[in-house]
Amino acid sequence: MPKRFRLTRRFAVAMTDDGYRGLKRFSQEAGLDEGEALSFLFEHFDSVTDSEALATRLRLFNAELEARKR
């Protein structure tokens, strides 16, 4: 019997416009709503990310973050 999919946690999320557009595109292509898409991405985080590319992208994002907040 398959495990029942329950969304048990809800939290307010602030996202950039680019991030939200990417989430919408991914969820539509996968046939999921945004909450299901986020759950999938975080449940399978290690298998859907390239750890080397992630570290590089994270450094770049953090370097630009303060400028983007203004």
Determine contact, residues 32/40, Cβ cutoff 8 Å. Answer: yes
Q: Global pTM?
A: 0.75
Taking only the tens place, the pLDDT of each residue in 11-47 is 888 899 999 999 999 999 999 999 999 999 999 999 9
Asked if residue 2 has pLDDT above 80, the reply is no
Give the Cα separation of 64 and 37 in Å (integer).
Answer: 26
DSSP 8-state class, residue 44: T
